[in-house]
Structure 1
Amino acid sequence: MIRVALDADLQAITDIYNEAVIAGGSTADLTACTLEQRRKWVEAHEPRHDFPVVVMENENGKVIGFGSLSRFHSRAGYDGVVELSYYITTSERHRGRGTEMVSSLIAKARKLGNRKVVAVIFAKNSGSVALVNHFGFTCYGVFPQACWDGRNFSDVSYWYLDL
């Protein structure tokens, strides 16, 4: 089940995000985030009805992933373009959870009247690249060695979907 994130979900969101930070290859953060940092990240999604943060629960009600639609750019000309991001806990990957999350976020972006969804992905993240391809995203560029992930410089790919 995917639902709007609550304050009670902040620890799970932080833990899942920090798994990705520690593993490397999917986020530009180099050190684990605190609960307060994740709280500020969630609170920055304002207005919340236009820029939702959601969580995914498993069959037992445990939070196993989260996702968001974020403002792509603060300038008014970019209104209607949102950035999609998602993280699934390691033990729940390769079970269709990412597909379910991305599908839900795309549907939400459409319902909110957006015209484009953007995804920024480490080019070597084959799982996420395959996922956005599955949904018909188009790669509009690769920024070579744009991001240091704590171990290596990585190329970053930029994707969009017309809604």
Structure 2
Amino acid sequence: MTAEAAKAAQERQPAEGHQTVQGQQTTKDSAFVIRDAADSDLQAITDIYNEAVIAGGSTADLEPRTLEQRREWVESHTPRTDYPVVVIEDESGRVAGFGSLSHFHPRKAYDGVVELSYYIASDAQHHGYGTAMVKWLLGAARQRSCRMATALIFADNAGSVALMRRFGFTRFGFLPQACYDGKRYIDMSYWYKEL
């Protein structure tokens, strides 16, 4: 990590009540910082999400989202809820991905159950950022006294399936051909982990 990047990483502080995770990924020797998303991150969040929309295989959205639509999505999480949207930066300070915790269901009896989601830029995949993001999101859910985390992923998304298994999630549901992306029907799998 350059001295300038180290100084910038040190200066970033999490919002009150949120944790920041800093670490060294030995697999690629790439440092990372996970922090609350800021307005200045909206373009990167939009670009990473739209890259996933266009590539297919990880979101059911069929059309890229506008910057304003992503802004509304981020604002729907914080500060009105206690569920964050966070970004992960690589050692140069570039946003390499983002993740979020969301209410599993709006009905009150489901309080304490969260859904996690994460997206990593294609050129930043296989550097440990997805693992770091899921670890952070699970820690944030525990910090908020959540009792269960859930995830809904495409059943053929091998990377996400492996990540769910690595963190001890259990597949509890399978919905065949639930999603149609304009070319093919895609099976969905539901995962959960007790916290």
Classify the TM-score, shorter chain. Answer: over 0.9
Which aligned runs of 4 or more in structure 1 are off by greater than 2 angstroms? 46-49
Q: What's the counterpart of residue 88 of structure 1?
A: 120
Q: For 1:90-129, what per-residue CA distance to the aligned partner results, in whole angstroms no more than 9, with x for missing partners?
A: 0010111100000000001001100000000000000000
Please state if 1:34 is matched with 2:66.
Answer: yes
Distance 1:136 1:104 in 2: 15
Against the structure 1 CA distance between its residues 66 and 28, is the aligned structure 2 distance closer, same or farther, given a 3 Å change threshold? same
Partners in 2 of 1:48 and 1:26 — Cα distance? Answer: 27
Q: Give the CA deviation at 1:152.
A: 1.2
Equivalent residue for 2:26?
A: none
TM (norm. structure 2) is: 0.82
Identity %: 64
User: Which residue type is aligned with residue 162 of structure 1?
Assistant: E
Q: Report the alpha carbon displacement of residue 47 of structure 1 after superposing the two structures with TM.
A: 4.4
| TM-score between the two structures when normalised by the length of structure 1 | 0.97
1:150 match: 182
Residue of structure 1 equivalent to 2:98:
66
Partner of 2:36: 4
Of structures 1 and 2, the one with the larger relative CO (CA 8 A, separation 6+) is: 1
Find the counterpart in structure 1 of residue 19 from structure 2: none
Task: Work out the CA distance in 1 between the residues paired with 2:118 and 2:151.
Answer: 10
User: What is the aligned residue count?
Assistant: 163
User: Once superposed, what is the RMSD of the aligned Cα atoms?
Assistant: 1.0
The alpha carbon displacement at 1:45 in A equals: 1.0
Unmatched tracts of structure 1, length 5 or more:
none
1:54 paired residue number:
86
Check conservation: 1:24, 1:150, Cα contact below 8 A: no
Q: Distance in 1 between matches of 2:184 and 2:115?
A: 24
Q: Following the alignment from structure 1 to structure 2, what is the Cα–Cα distance between the partners of residues 49 and 141?
A: 27
Is this contact kept in 2: 1:143–1:157, CA < 8 A? yes
